[in-house]
Amino acid sequence: MNGPVVTRAHLVEARNVAKSFGQTEALRGASVAVGQGEILAVMGPSGSGKSTLLHCLAGIFTPDRGEVWFDGGRLDALSEAERTKLRRTAFGFVFQFGQLVPELTAADNVALPLLLNRVRRRAAYKTADAWLDRLGIGDKGANRTGELSGGEAQRVAVARALALGPKVIFADEPTGSLDSLTGEKVMDMLTGLAREAGSTVVIVTHDARVAAHADRVVMVRDGLVSGDLGAIGEQVSVAKAAR
Amino acid sequence: MTLLGLLERAPSHGYDLKRDYDAYFGRGRQLPFGQVYSTLGRLARDGMVAGGDAEPGEGPDRKTYSITDAGRAEVDAWLADPVEPEPHLQTILFAKVTLALMLGKPAADYLDRQRSSHIRRMQELTRLRRDGALVDVLLADHALFHLEADLRWIDLTSARLTELAAVVNSEGAPKQ
């Protein structure tokens, strides 16, 4: 990979990324950089381009213009096969509706990406069981995911994303289909376990309560990233904060 | 501060100021005349407004008040400064947005700053609830839900600024 070396502190970066779908400009020169181990929330109204930005950062979409950098190299310049490999080995994904295979068990779903990465079957299922345990659904491993509640299924999706030990987890409206309490639990688990593992997380959401779990929040409007909305500042007491 | 902001539109009598305040910001609670004149007296003492000579005629006070440069600077600073994020601040935010639109100032920028301020407070609360005792978690949740409601109002208002500006600037004071 050629070109200037990306700042090492930034693991993922979009530089002036533009992407259109037909006549619709989803991104019009969006730039954002995410640090190693950082949890970034990308907020914005429907149709603002925030999901398109996530798909570009994850190498799912190729930008029409601009550059996407990952770990010091140009992601957008890779071939489709190379990007697919990267998505399978270095990235984890959590989507609004989990995108699990409903006919397979929870353990199968978590083990599947490991098996695709040629992890031996016994080791893959051991890892899957361990992650399901950490997410509080160790007793659901043998259940088909189609039989699980929305919250349980989303925990399986989080387990699947984390099991590979990804460098980056991309989450698109990860609690969009869950009630408030279940959504909070899933976010606590996703961000807590990612922090423990040192994984970088990019969360796209329209929900301020979900975004508040992040270290930093940016806003996407009309295909552009506006400045930081919030970065964790000084500690405050609950009494002051809840005033 | 709202009275001072109203004076930035044009010099005005105390009576007219009260009438406009009640129409735009009173929402069923009229501002007492006494409070209007005591506020104007305090603003004059602090150099924010200048009171002209009293005009002859009927009525409690026919003095015209004008905003000074110091008063304008005070209004600008107040509009641009995000309100301390706390539940139930809609009244202040509403006054800021309405005044900003009346005065042709960047209401969208003020709302953006307020949004940032809210998000930061929500991040702090979320961090606190992560390791807090259940009582603290419940207290933080209460504040988070109220801040979230404010944010929704901010988002909706941001999307309606053009429409609001037309109402505030073209159709006169709303009916009480």
- Residue linked to tokens 């964790």: A232
CA separation (Å) from B83 to A90, B58, B89, B97, B148? 42, 40, 8, 12, 15
Q: What is the 8-class DSSP label of residue A63?
A: P
Q: Does A236 touch chain B (CB under 8 A)?
A: yes
β-strand A200-205 against A39-43: which pairing, if any? Answer: parallel
Task: Report the candidate in B1, B96, B103 with the shortest Cα–Cα distance to residue B48.
Answer: B1
B121/A241 Cβ within 8 A = yes
- pLDDT tens track for B120-147: 999 999 998 888 888 888 888 888 998 9
A208/B122 Cβ within 8 A = yes
B144/A232 Cβ within 8 A = no
What would you report as the CA-atom Rg of chain B, rounded to the nearest whole angstrom? 19
Dihedral (Cα; A182, A239, B1, B153), 10-degree rounding = 0
Among B119, B128, B132, beta carbon nearest to A208: B119
A211/B122 Cβ within 8 A = yes
Domain edges within chain B: 1-80, 83-176
SS3 sequence of A6-50: CCCCEEEEEEEEEEEECCEEEEEEEEEEEECCCEEEEECCCCCCH
From chain B, pick out residues whose CB is under 8 angstroms from the CB of A243: 86, 143
B151/A208 Cβ within 8 A = yes
Sorting pLDDT into bands at 50, 70 and 90, what band is B80? confident
From chain B, pick out residues whose CB is under 8 angstroms from the CB of A219: 115
CB atoms inside a 10 Å sphere around CB B156: 9
A33 Cα distance to chain centroid:
14
Q: Does A213 touch chain B (CB under 8 A)?
A: yes
Q: Enumerate residues 6+ apart whose C-beta is below 8 A from A37.
A: A195, A198, A199, A200
- Residue linked to tokens 């999706």: A157
B124/A236 Cβ within 8 A = yes
Mean per-residue pLDDT for B48-54?
83
| A75 neighbors A59 (Cβ within 8 angstroms) | yes
What is the pTM (predicted TM-score) of this model? 0.78
Q: Enumerate residues 6+ apart whose C-beta is below 8 A from A9.
A: A35, A36
Q: Is B34 exposed, middle or buried (0-12, 13-18, 19+ CB in 10 A)?
A: exposed
User: ipTM of this complex > 0.85?
Assistant: no
CATH of domain B1-80: 1.10.10.10
Among B119, B144, B159, beta carbon nearest to A217: B119
Which has more confidence, A99 or B173?
Answer: A99
A236/B118 Cβ within 8 A = no
Mean per-residue pLDDT for B15-20?
88
Give A130's Cβ-side CA count (13 Å radius).
11
Task: Tell me which chain A residue has its CA closest to the CA of residue B152.
Answer: A208
Dist. CA A242–CA A239, nearest whole Å: 5
Q: Does B122 touch chain A (CB under 8 A)?
A: yes
Dist. CA A39–CA A192, nearest whole Å: 10
Mean per-residue pLDDT for A219-228?
86
Sorting pLDDT into bands at 50, 70 and 90, what band is A2? very low
